[in-house]
Structure 1
């Protein structure tokens, strides 16, 4: 048997594995963002008239800055300073990128 079919099969499996890894990463990031839904609404779209800001479509840099300010305590809040401490800097960047990509 020629090695070409084996190589093609191996490449196909690698591509499927890569796609699955991307899907798993996207699901992970979406699940991180979902933790914000109770206050900020599904996909960062706050309920109309809410005192809590919508996150959908906000600039990523702004969200990162605010989350880090909550985390360090330089921005006061009712609960965000406690919640922000539970995220790593990488997770904060992932969440910010997710919300920045959402339509307002």
Structure 2
């Protein structure tokens, strides 16, 4: 019985990872959550930084600094903690590719 449960768990976890890898819009969909503050496709029209076209390493470092609390923020520290490293990588890759 325990073996069946372990096998089922491995299959579910493997399938969920495969589903993420097969979604061609996952990066765009994750990045869309940033639009309220940073503009559509990361092109800000207001007081927030634009993310479009910024270097990947710079964006990732900012997110890691928000997540760790090294960079103070009103909300970004909470948002950054809500994503896995893989998801943050997809988001910064998406914004870095925008022109």
Normalised TM-score (structure 1): 0.73
- Matching of residue 82 in structure 1 with residue 78 in structure 2: yes
Please tell me the root mean square deviation across aligned C-alpha atoms, in Å: 1.8
Cα distance in 2 for residues equivalent to 1:24 and 1:40: 27
Residue 25 (structure 1) shift: 2.7
**1:70 is matched with which residue?**
66
Distance 1:46 1:26 in 2: 24
Structure-2 separation of matches of 1:26 and 1:42: 19
Q: Which runs of 4+ in 1 moved over 2 A?
A: 23-26
Count of aligned pairs = 81
1:34 aligned partner: 32
Question: Mind listing any 5+ residue stretches in structure 1 that lack a counterpart?
Answer: 1-20
Bigger-Rg structure (1/2) = 1
Counterpart residue number, 2:95: 99
